[in-house]
């Protein structure tokens, strides 16, 4: 088995979400800093703790002097760190490393990293038997406020907000997004984590919130189609929702995005088993499931307020364009891990 090559980290910044794992992640970051300092025999590892939402973006954007930025937490902090790194010029952009201690850890799963089940442990060496690998990102240019669903229309007098965000793993719209977003409150109420949390949120979403979502969708600049979908995902990696294999063959380094959507309408009794079968990729081949690979996708939603999530974070939009950015980031990936 290859030995960890931690010397390649250079000067590193550890960005931690101190609330992850019910607060245990903050102490884990301190232990990781001590471990790296002792292992590499040099004091070039610093810790920065997030204090508010989006703070990790600011911390990572200011990290141009570092060789490596380590995101310690779940998919949320990884998402923010990646967005911050994308504000740094490509030639000066640090390498991204992931220490997965969140509840979902889907991007870490894509890289071949295992969860740190016991964040109170002290042996982090297995996480850093890694080598630098370029991966793609999804660039999402969004706007909100336009009420007319026609792709070429602009609603008169409606204030429009615009922005750009990047996704390392997933974008989804519809019930699958409602499920992901629903885990935030459900985690506080039930204390569930991982796949159990996402399954419980899914069962709730298939209750009174069950519906179709109308949108106009264009793939790779082709003419927009009017689609009625129950779920709609665009993936950079295979999974979301703590391991649901929504796009089992997605490869974050192939220059393409994987699309999966469930065509509606369909009764709950039919849709629910299809959703549950996605845990192991069993939905692939179902006649209501459509899958393809694209370089870009544009959406105009028939209504405002659709549930939309990007790496588990809520996005409010009435229109958006998703494009692949090939080899956008260099990440630390375990030697011998799959693609």
User: How is 121-155 classified by DSSP, letter by letter?
Assistant: ----GGGG-EEEEEEEEEEEEEEE-----STT---
The reported pLDDT for the residue numbered 80 is 98
Q: Are 306 and 173 in contact (CB under 8 A)?
A: yes
pLDDT, position 3: 42
Model confidence, pTM: 0.90
- The CATH number that domain 138-327 falls under is 2.60.200.40
pLDDT at 2 (0 to 100):
39
Does residue 297 contact residue 322 with C-beta atoms inside 8 Å?
Answer: yes
The whole-angstrom distance between residue 140's C-alpha and the CA centroid of its chain comes to: 12
Residue 113 near residue 169, CB atoms below 8 Å = no
Q: For residue 35, how many other CB atoms are within 10 A of its CB? A: 17
Name every residue whose Cβ is closer than 8 Å to that of residue 240 and which is 6 or more positions away in sequence. 104, 106, 169, 170, 172, 176, 180, 233, 246, 312
Strand extents, DSSP E, 34-92: 45-49, 68-73
155 class by beta-carbon count within 10 Å (0-12 exposed, 13-18 middle, 19+ buried): middle
Which top CATH class is 6-128?
Answer: alpha beta
Domain boundaries, the chain: 6-128, 138-327
Query: Which residue has tokens 């649901």?
Result: 244
Our CA dihedral for 298, 301, 307, 311, rounded to 10 degrees, sits at 10
Terminal-to-terminal C-alpha distance of the chain: 18
Across 316-335, b (16+ Cβ under 10 Å) vs e yields ebbbbebbbeeebbbbbbbe
- Euclidean distance between CA atoms 68 and 54, whole angstroms: 19
C-alpha 170/C-alpha 148 separation (Å) is 26
* Residue given tokens 């640090």 in the structure block: 94
Task: Decide the pairing of beta strands 225-235 and 170-174.
Answer: antiparallel
Distances (CA, A) of 187 to 20, 206, 241, 326: 12, 18, 13, 34
55-75 burial code (b ≥16 CB/10 A, e <16):
bbbbbbbebeebebbbbbbbb
| CA 250 to chain CA centroid, nearest Å | 13
The whole-number pLDDT of residue 159 equals 78
232-254 burial, b at 16+ Cβ within 10 Å, e below that, comes to bbbbbbbbbbbbbbbbbebbbeb
pLDDT tens string for the chain (339 positions)? 334 466 678 899 999 988 877 788 888 899 889 888 888 877 889 999 999 999 999 999 999 999 999 999 889 999 999 999 999 999 999 999 998 887 778 999 999 987 655 555 555 765 667 889 999 999 999 999 865 555 555 555 567 899 999 999 999 999 989 988 888 778 778 878 767 777 788 788 888 789 999 999 999 999 999 999 999 999 999 999 888 999 999 999 999 999 999 999 999 999 989 988 999 999 999 999 999 999 999 999 999 999 999 999 999 999 999 999 999 999 999 876 665
Per-residue pLDDT at 304: 92
């Amino acid at each position: 088995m290859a030995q960890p090559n931690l010397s390649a980290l250079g000067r590193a910044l550890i960005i931690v979400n101190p609330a992850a794992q019910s607060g245990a992640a903050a102490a884990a970051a301190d232990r990781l800093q001590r471990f790296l300092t002792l292992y590499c025999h040099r004091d070039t590892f610093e810790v920065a703790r997030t204090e508010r939402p989006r703070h990790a973006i600011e911390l990572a954007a200011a990290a141009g002097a570092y060789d490596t930025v380590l995101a310690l937490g779940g998919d949320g902090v990884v998402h923010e760190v990646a967005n911050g790194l994308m504000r740094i010029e490509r030639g000066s952009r640090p390498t991204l490393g992931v220490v997965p201690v969140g509840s979902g850890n889907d991007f870490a799963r894509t890289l071949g990293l295992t969860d740190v089940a016991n964040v109170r442990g002290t042996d982090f060496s297995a996480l850093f038997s890694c080598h630098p690998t370029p991966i793609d990102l999804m660039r999402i240019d969004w706007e909100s406020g336009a009420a007319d669903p026609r792709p070429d229309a602009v609603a008169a007098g409606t204030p429009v907000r615009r922005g750009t965000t990047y996704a390392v793993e997933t974008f989804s719209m519809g019930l699958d997004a409602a499920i992901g977003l629903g885990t935030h409150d459900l985690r506080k109420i039930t204390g569930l984590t991982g796949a159990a949390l996402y399954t419980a949120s899914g069962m709730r979403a298939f209750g009174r919130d069950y519906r179709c979502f109308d949108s106009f969708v264009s793939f790779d600049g082709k003419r927009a189609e009017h689609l009625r979908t129950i779920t709609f995902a665009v993936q950079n990696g295979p999974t979301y929702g703590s391991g649901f294999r929504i796009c089992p063959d997605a490869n974050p380094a192939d220059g393409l995005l994987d699309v999966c959507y469930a065509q509606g309408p369909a009764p709950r009794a039919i849709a629910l088993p299809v959703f549950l079968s996605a845990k192991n990729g069993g939905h692939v081949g179902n006649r209501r499931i459509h899958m393809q690979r694209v370089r870009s996708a544009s959406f105009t939603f028939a209504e405002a307020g659709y549930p939309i999530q990007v790496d588990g974070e809520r996005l409010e939009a009435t229109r958006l364009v998703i494009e692949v950015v090939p080899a956008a980031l260099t990440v630390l990936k375990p030697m011998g891990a799959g693609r």
